[in-house]
Amino acid sequence: MNELISQLQTELPDFFGGSTDTALFSTSDGLILTLLLQLIPMALGLALSIPLAFARNATSVWIAKPVWMYTCLFRGTPMLVQLFLIYYGLAQFDIVKDSSLWDYLRDPYCCALLTFTLNTTAYTMEILAGQLRGIDWREIEAAQSLGMSRWKMNMHIVLPSALRRSLPAYSNEVIMLLHGTSIVSLVTLTDITGVARHIYSDTYNPFEPFMIAGAIYLMLTWLITRIFMKMERRWLAFLKPITANSRAKTQ
Amino acid sequence: MTMIFRKFGLALLLLTGMSLALAQQTLRIGIEGEYPPFNQIDQNGSLVGFDVDITHALCAEMKVQCKFVVQSWNGIIPALLSNKSDLIISSMAITEKRKEMLAFSNPYYFERAIFVAAKKSTLQITPEGLKGKVIGVQGATVFEKMLKEKYPGINVRVYTAVSDHNLDLVSGRIDAVLGSDLVMKPWLSSADAANFEIKGAPFVDVKYMGYGAGIAARKSDTALIAKVNAALEALHKNGQFDAISKKYFKDDISH
């Protein structure tokens, strides 16, 4: 037991960008990299998926089909395959290597950000597009009867409602993305799983490092769930069943 | 109904008995399968290479059945320790650290470390010359440890397999690669590597690279290691080792 604790003590700092003789977070290895690979694609994906979700539902096939093709591709293949195609695959083409894009694509970190953004956008957009389609016709009728323009209706009624209703499904996507980031150690990046793999190959002992990695992912997942619970309580309050208590308040 | 169960149970008993008897005679050999020309999986999906030929010769000499267990490099020692294989015949360098948990045979070959970079690169193989450069290396190898400790201040990229860092060397993502001469030289003579060459002189650092490549077993399997050593000795005597060595390296790599 003591041996286990002393081993945890020497291994733990590695997961937070430190080591036994350097300060915590002196490098971005471990937790910081995992968080960056989670938050940046999440933010970009959310921003991109709003216009794309409307495009996905557009009546014109010239707008809707390409978006459908994109989600079909990115939801139809594993993220690891996408990462390998972007990291190793694109590097095979001289056009890519001679272009100014190569400055970014030669960096494994940029390749990972690109892959995760494209992947999470596809999923987020489908969640949102589904909620846009599933909107209550009475909300639309109400908006039309007030004489709202289409743009105004979408911005003030349809989108806010769809975004709210997307929350439960979206929280799943956020957790899936967090766990998906663990593949980056295969393209030389040292995220939480990467640190665990390094310790594993140094000590030949898989138990402690992967246990620590698992515990960190578990805590991050718990944190995400808490945040989404708070958000759902706030923004999905209208979906809660009416209790005697709340009825008394409204009357 | 009970008859059927009885018959079935008997058949099951016979089957397990048979497989147990078989397992006793079969040695499971842990091998990476991604380290050409020592071990790799060819286009037909079969294992080929120096380590594979040596294994076949050794098993014939020891008069045992052998079965390969293909296992990625960073998990090859844990697989042996958790009894998923019995021997590792996969170009494993005999280092002090590995000796703490494994029993090794006598070394069966020796290699040197080399840096490989583009022909047009002016890379100087000194601690100062390498500072700030991006160097690729296979993870969990003697070369990874040596690179990190001997040349501080370089940007180390750790890859799962040699073929991965070679791809990135060609695409220009990394400035150089540190690896074994016996592995990198055959690659250098391939068409992919036309613009690449060895930089600096090949070297051996016993502190990291140990005492050559050995065959590893669990520490308790001393009798097995003695058997392997005797078989290796016999292969040297009857000229089989020399023949296999020359087939892959045009040279005897056992010293």
Residue A17: inside a domain, yes or no?
no
Q: Please report which confidence band the pLDDT of residue A241 belongs to, taking 50, 70 and 90 as the band edges.
A: confident
pLDDT at residue A246, as a whole number: 64
Any chain A CB within 8 A of the CB of B77?
Answer: yes
Angle between helices B181-188 and B162-171 (to 10 degrees): 50
Statement: residue B195 has pLDDT above 70: yes
**Are A29 and A14 spatial neighbours (Cβ–Cβ below 8 Å)?**
yes
pLDDT at residue B121, as a whole number: 95
Statement: residue A215 has pLDDT above 50: yes
Residue A11: inside a domain, yes or no?
no
Statement: residue B18 has pLDDT above 80: no
Domain extent at residue A237: 29-250
Any chain A CB within 8 A of the CB of B189?
Answer: no
Q: Please name which of B181, B199, B48, B183 lies closest in space to residue B118, comparing C-alpha atoms.
A: B199
CATH architecture of B113-209: 3-Layer(aba) Sandwich (3.40)
Q: Give pLDDT tens digits for A152-202.
A: 999 999 999 999 999 999 999 999 999 999 999 999 999 999 999 988 888
Cβ atoms within 10 A of the Cβ of B98, count? 18
In the block, tokens 């939480």 appear at A192
- Average pLDDT, whole number, for chain A? 92
Of B74, B157, B158, the CB nearest to A200: B74
Chain B residues touching residue A91 (CB < 8 angstroms): 167-168, 171, 173
Any chain A CB within 8 A of the CB of B158?
Answer: yes
- Quote the CA–CA distance of A104 and A115 in Å, as a whole number: 13
| CATH number of the domain located at residue range(s) B2-110+212-249 in this protein | 3.40.190.10
**Are B36 and B183 spatial neighbours (Cβ–Cβ below 8 Å)?**
yes
pLDDT at residue A206, as a whole number: 84
DSSP B216: E
- Quote the CA–CA distance of A71 and B71 in Å, as a whole number: 35
Residue A132: inside a domain, yes or no?
yes
- CATH (domain of A138): 1.10.3720.10
pLDDT at residue B69, as a whole number: 96
Cα angle vertex A198, ends A193, A202, to 5°? 145
Interface probe, candidates A97, A204, A205, A208, chain B, greatest B C-beta count within 10 A: A204
Q: Give pLDDT tens digits for A75-94.
A: 999 999 999 999 999 998 98
Q: Give pLDDT tens digits for A13-68.
A: 999 998 878 889 988 899 999 999 999 999 999 999 999 999 999 999 999 999 99
The dihedrals phi and psi of B252, each to the nearest 5 degrees, come to: -90, 115
User: Are A91 and B157 a contacting pair at CB < 8 A?
Assistant: no
Any chain B CB within 8 A of the CB of A165?
Answer: no
Q: Give pLDDT tens digits for B150-168.
A: 998 999 999 999 999 999 9
pLDDT at residue B23, as a whole number: 46
Q: Reply yes or no: is the peptide bond before residue B202 cis, omega within 30 of 0.
A: no
- Quote the CA–CA distance of A188 and B89 in Å, as a whole number: 26
pLDDT at residue B140, as a whole number: 87
Q: Where are the domains of chain B?
A: 2-110+212-249, 113-209
- What lies within 8 Å, CB to CB, of A150 at 6+ separation is none
Residue A4: inside a domain, yes or no?
no
- Quote the CA–CA distance of B57 and B65 in Å, as a whole number: 11
- Quote the CA–CA distance of A212 and A197 in Å, as a whole number: 11
Q: What is the mean pLDDT of residues B68-91?
A: 94
Residue A5: inside a domain, yes or no?
no
B2-110+212-249 matches B113-209 in fold = yes
Q: Please report which confidence band the pLDDT of residue B22 belongs to, taking 50, 70 and 90 as the band edges.
A: very low
Residue A45: inside a domain, yes or no?
yes
pLDDT at residue B12, as a whole number: 57
pLDDT at residue A10, as a whole number: 85
Taking the C-alpha atoms of A55, A102, B137 and A29 in order, what is their torsion angle to the nearest 10 degrees?
Answer: -50
- The distance of B15 to chain A (nearest Cα, Å) reads 34
pLDDT at residue A6, as a whole number: 83
